[in-house]
Amino acid sequence: MSPTISEIKSLNVAIIGAGAAGLVSARELRREGHQVVMFERQAQLGGTWVYNPGVEADPLGSDPSRAIVHSSLYASLRTNLPREAMGFRAYPFVSTGQPHWDSRRFPGHQEVLLYLNDYATEFGLTELVRFETEVVYAGLVEDGKWKVRSRQENGVAVDVDEIFDALVVCNGHYTEPRTAEIPGIDAWPGKQMHCHNYRIPEPYRDLVVILIGSGPSALDISIDIAQVAKEVHVASRSDEAEVLRKQFGYHHIQLHPMIESIQKDGTVIFYDGSMVLAGVILHCTGYNYHLPFLDTHGIVTVDDNCVGPLYKHIFPPVLAPRLSFVGLPWMVLPFPVFEFQSKWIAGVLSDRIRLPSQEEMMENVSAFYLSLEASGMPKRHTHKMGAHLFEYNGWLAAECGVPVTEEWRKKMLYATLQNYLAHPGTYRDAWEDDDLVLEALMEMATVATLD
What's the rounded Cα separation, in Å, for the pair 120 and 15? 15
- In this structure, the answer to whether residues 13 and 73 fall within a common structural domain is yes
Looking at 12-82, list the stretches that DSSP marks H as alpha helix, in order from N- to C-terminal side: 20-31
Residue 429 has pLDDT above 60, yes or no: yes
- In this structure, the answer to whether residues 280 and 292 fall within a common structural domain is no
- In this structure, the answer to whether residues 194 and 326 fall within a common structural domain is no
pLDDT at 430: 85
pLDDT at 243: 60
Average pLDDT, integer, range 194-210 = 97
pLDDT tier at 240 (50, 70, 90 boundaries)? low
pLDDT tier at 393 (50, 70, 90 boundaries)? very high
For residues 44 and 17, the answer to whether their CB atoms sit within 8 Å is: no
Residue 6 has pLDDT above 50, yes or no: no
Instruction: Annotate 408-419 with b (16+ C-beta within 10 A) or e (fewer).
Output: bbebbbebbeeb
Residue 447 has pLDDT above 90, yes or no: no
- In this structure, the answer to whether residues 65 and 121 fall within a common structural domain is yes
What's the rounded Cα separation, in Å, for the pair 205 and 279? 11
pLDDT at 2: 46
- In this structure, the answer to whether residues 190 and 137 fall within a common structural domain is no
Residue 251 DSSP code: T
What range does the domain containing 212 cover? 179-284
- In this structure, the answer to whether residues 149 and 195 fall within a common structural domain is no
pLDDT digits (tens, 9 = 90+) for 107-125: 999 999 999 999 999 999 9
- In this structure, the answer to whether residues 399 and 439 fall within a common structural domain is yes
Q: How many domains does the chain have?
A: 2
pLDDT digits (tens, 9 = 90+) for 29-45: 999 999 999 999 999 99
Q: What is the mean pLDDT of the chain?
A: 91
**443 vs 135, residue with greater confidence:** 135
Residue 299 has pLDDT above 90, yes or no: yes
What's the rounded Cα separation, in Å, for the pair 24 and 269? 47
Domain ends where: 235, 253, 284? 284
Domain ends where: 228, 250, 284? 284
Bridging pattern class, strands 12-16 and 166-169: parallel
- In this structure, the answer to whether residues 130 and 241 fall within a common structural domain is no
For residues 236 and 218, the answer to whether their CB atoms sit within 8 Å is: yes
pLDDT at 403: 81
Name which of 148-162, 198-212, 335-349 the model is least confident about.
148-162
- In this structure, the answer to whether residues 222 and 275 fall within a common structural domain is yes
CATH number at residue 234: 3.50.50.60
Q: If DSSP codes are grouped into helix, strand and coil, which group holds residue 238?
A: coil
Q: If DSSP codes are grouped into helix, strand and coil, which group holds residue 279?
A: coil
For residues 354 and 347, the answer to whether their CB atoms sit within 8 Å is: no
